[in-house]
Every structure is written in structure tokens, then in C-alpha cells.
A = this chain, B = another copy of it.
């Protein structure tokens, strides 16, 4: 059994934004939704039901801090949160590891560097199909903006 999150390479940790006592926040490498991130449990835990009370309480702080940061720094309007873990079940011996996807959503166009981002599906279910790779080019810019202000939202541990 191979857990996709317990053995992340240094390259895969490239966009690590911050960590709390129980969670690590990575900016997703495909920025189809600006600020799209993945919140991963530090402990190998296979379902939401198995999270401890302490992990669950810490998650609430992470959600509040993340939403506040993305509203302030990126002008996000609202957020789509999901905990799916389907990919793990593609393996013969599934080894799921609790993680959340968060997609900030934007009512108005947003400027990032020289480009303007428009959330074309706003107010509709996120588009789960891979889009143009254009947005991957801005991941460094989004990362720098969030990482540079991270201490205003998350305690340094």
C-alpha cells in the first residue's frame, strides 16, 4: 500500500504555504481556481470519522484563517470545500489519507501580475475537468503573495 501524502517528495512540497499543529496547507500546482489549495492531515488518518477532536478543532482554525487570508489577499468571494479521497480507491489496496480541497471562487475579475483571472463558472459547481494550463503559469505569483503575508493569518509553529 502506498499513501500518496505520507511520502511526498521535496518537489511535491514546493508550494507548502504553512502548517499548523495537525494540518499542512499546500497551494495546488494547477491554479484553475486562484488560490486553490489542499489541506492535508499530518497524521495518516483514513477517514473524517477517524479524526481526533484535537485535529477537528485545529481544522476549524485552519478554515477560518485560510478564508480570511484569501478574502483579504486575493479578494475571493466565497469558497468551495470538499473532502473526497476517491483517488485512493483506484488502488487495489486503498490507502486514503484525509485531505480537503478548497477552491476560492470569485464574483469579479482578479488581476494577478499581468493577467486578469475570471471565474467563468462562478455560482456554479466547480469544473472538475482539467482546463487550459495557462493558470499554472501564475502559481509562483499567487504563492509569493500568500506566503509573504502568511504570518498575518497563521501562527508560526
Contacts and interface: CB of A to CB of B under 8 A. Distances in A.
Interface of A: 47-49, 51, 53, 56-57, 60, 63-64, 67-68, 77-87, 89-90, 94, 96, 105, 107, 122-126, 128
B86 A64 contact: no
Tell me the dominant secondary structure on chain A's binding face: mixed
Contacts of A78: 47, 85, 89, 94, 96
Most buried by B among A53, A56, A84, A124: A84
Contacts of A68: 49
B60 A56 contact: yes
A115 B51 CA distance: 35
Contacts of A49: 63-64, 67-68
